[in-house]
Amino acid sequence: MNPLFNIFLRGFLFAQNNPQIIYTLFLVVMIPSAFFFTSEQFLRIARENQDLFERNRIGILQDVFVLFAKEHVDDASYLSTHIQSIVEQNETVTRLQVMRKNTSSEFIIVASKDDVDVGTPFVPDPLSSALFSNATGRPGESFAAKFFTDGVRYWRSVRAITDASSAMPVAYVLTDVSMAEADAVARKNIRSAYLVLALIIFLIIVLLARQARIIDYATLYQKLKEVDHMKDDFVSMAAHELRSPLSIIRGYTEMLADGEKLSPGGQTNLKHIDDAAVHLNHLIGDILDVAKLQEGRMSFRFESRDVSKDIAEVVESFMRVASDKGLKLSYENISLPLISIDPDRFHQVMINLVGNAIKYTPSGEVRVITSQEKESVVVRVSDTGMGISAEDQQKLFQKFYRVKSEETSTITGTGLGLWITSQMVKTMHGDIAVESIKGKGTDFILRFPVIKESPTA
């Protein structure tokens, strides 16, 4: 296999088994990056807006100045006075000068905020040259460009002053505006934005440090799952292995009971051994069923069937046990519509329910009643036994759950029968419910969907 693909596959499998790592990475990388990205976006937009705003401001200032300067283009002292008052009110304006073209590459300053500049030449650098030539080409507009001096950002703007009659440029206004103050404010804001960002990242890291404990738990959970799996494997293997010696014990007790003349005391002891072996056998059977159901290894062979006869068989098999206990066991065998079930599993379900009804009914009767309701076959196993409280009914179908009371204390069981029963019923697309009144009796109700007959041709 391609080694790169191999690495990728291993990485993918690792991530799949440890989703918490992805979550952590997401928090560490994605959230700060998202913050950083959005802050950058906001800053960029803010900077662009500020530039636009400054450009417009200089443009307006020049437009207004040109409006009255037009009339006094030859009156240098008038212009200088006004320039001084404009500059006084706009601290960011570092240069505001009116100049005339002297030679092709030189201008003469005719008015300025500082009188000493008046009459001195101005030789434009390439940036200013471009502004002058633009202003000459389109005399009605201001042209601006950014430049830096000693680390300070400036906007320089040039606009032509035209002759009233010829509309030709006779002079130019050159304005420099310092962005030092605006940039200082922006820098301060950016610094606080980054400070907030650093704080958020710090908080995320603190949260992640706590998260690390959750990651430990997740790993522990994974390990526990593996141990649980191993335990299930072990239990099911052990249960399997116990079956053979148990069959041998039961075989010999049967032989002893049949063949030898035992004293009444010996008979009783042998009965005790056999009862214990039967109980152990049930327990092993239940444990194996639980393991199979949990791992989805229990096979179901579905058949369309009228289950009335199957129920009759189960009821029949319990007649002796019921009468020994002095209970009346009844079932009215009426034929039923077809349902899709595995006959062996259905048999097991009925054995569990009728067996429990007899087991938990000290006196009275157990009835199995069948009916058809709407599109379902309903099987009701009803007893007049000890009943189950509403609280216990909630937990009845949980694994290993047994009702703890004085009445049940002498009755042996595993608490697995109803869990196995409900799992089997569910797998056979049925439903199980319980209705019970403590001290009065219990009904377990099974519902299976009737198979819809396919329309005959």
356 forms part of the interface with ligand ADP (CB under 6 A): yes
CB of 395 to ligand ADP, least distance (A): 9
Cα(243)–Cα(406) distance, integer angstroms: 32
Q: Which one among 59, 124, 169, 417 touches ligand ADP, defined by CB under 6 A?
A: 417
360 binding ligand ADP? (CB under 6 A): yes
Shortest distance (Å) from residue 455 CB to ligand ADP: 41
- Among 322, 388, 424, 428, which residue sits at the site for ligand ADP (rule: CB under 6 A)? 388
By CB under 6 A, tell whether 176 contacts ligand ADP.
no
Contact 431, 447 (CB under 8 A): yes
Would you count residue 413 as binding ligand ADP (CB under 6 A)? yes
The one among 377, 396, 424, 432 contacting ligand ADP by CB under 6 A? 396
Provide the 10 A C-beta neighbour count for residue 260: 9
Question: Could you tell me the smallest distance in angstroms from the CB atom of residue 391 to ligand ADP?
Answer: 12
Total residues in contact with ligand ADP, by rule CB under 6 A: 20
Q: Please identify, among the stretches 55-63, 109-117, 250-258, 396-404, the one whose residues bind ligand ADP according to the rule CB under 6 A.
A: 396-404
Residue 287 near ligand ADP by CB under 6 A: no
Distances (CA, A) of 454 to 304, 376, 429, 451: 13, 17, 19, 9
Minimum distance from residue 456 beta carbon to ligand ADP (Å): 42
**Among 325, 415, 433, 451, contact with ligand ADP (rule: CB under 6 A):** 415
Smallest distance from ligand ADP to CB 419, Å:
6
Contact criterion met (CB below 8 Å) for 295 and 232: yes
349 touches ligand ADP by CB under 6 A: no
CB 449 within 8 A of CB 429: yes
SS3 10: helix
What span, in angstroms and rounded, lies between the C-alpha atoms of 341 and 86?
99
Q: Is 285 in the site for ligand ADP (CB under 6 A)?
A: no
Buried b / exposed e over 81-94, threshold 16 CB at 10 Å, is ebbbebbeeeebbb
Of 95, 61, 65, nearest to 82 (Cα)? 65
393 in contact with ligand ADP (CB under 6 A): no
Longest distance between any two alpha carbons in the chain, whole Å: 149
Task: State the binding string over 302-341 for ligand ADP (x if CB under 6 A, else -).
Answer: ----------------------------------------
Burial class (CB in 10 A: 0-12, 13-18, 19+), 340: middle
Between 171 and 366, name the residue whose CB sits nearer to ligand ADP. 366
Interface with ligand ADP in residues 436-455 (CB under 6 A): 442
Q: How far is the CB of 390 from ligand ADP (least distance, A)?
A: 13
CA pair distance 351, 140, nearest whole angstrom: 104
Beta carbon of residue 2, minimum distance to ligand ADP (angstroms, whole number): 54
Where do the H-state alpha helices sit in 161-304?
180-259, 264-294
Residue pair 157/131 in contact (Cβ under 8 Å)? The answer is yes
**Chosen residue from 135, 291, 336, 386 binding ligand ADP by CB under 6 A:** 386
Judge whether 329 and 365 are in contact, CB under 8 Å. Answer: yes
End-to-end CA distance of the chain: 56
Binding flag, residue 418, ligand ADP (CB under 6 A): yes
Sheet with 441-449: strands ordered across: 328-331, 365-373, 376-383, 441-449, 431-437
Nearer to ligand ADP, 139 or 415 (CB): 415
Residue in this structure with the two tokens 């502004």, named with its chain if needed: 131
User: Smallest distance, Å, CB 250 to ligand ADP?
Assistant: 20
Among 88-96, 152-160, 169-177, 380-388, the segment contacting ligand ADP (CB under 6 A):
380-388
289 near ligand ADP, rule: CB under 6 A: no
In the complex, minimum distance from the CB of residue 385 to ligand ADP, in angstroms, rounded to a whole number: 5
Query: Which residues bind to ligand ADP, rule: CB under 6 A?
Result: 352, 356-357, 360, 383, 385-386, 388, 396, 401-403, 408, 413-418, 442
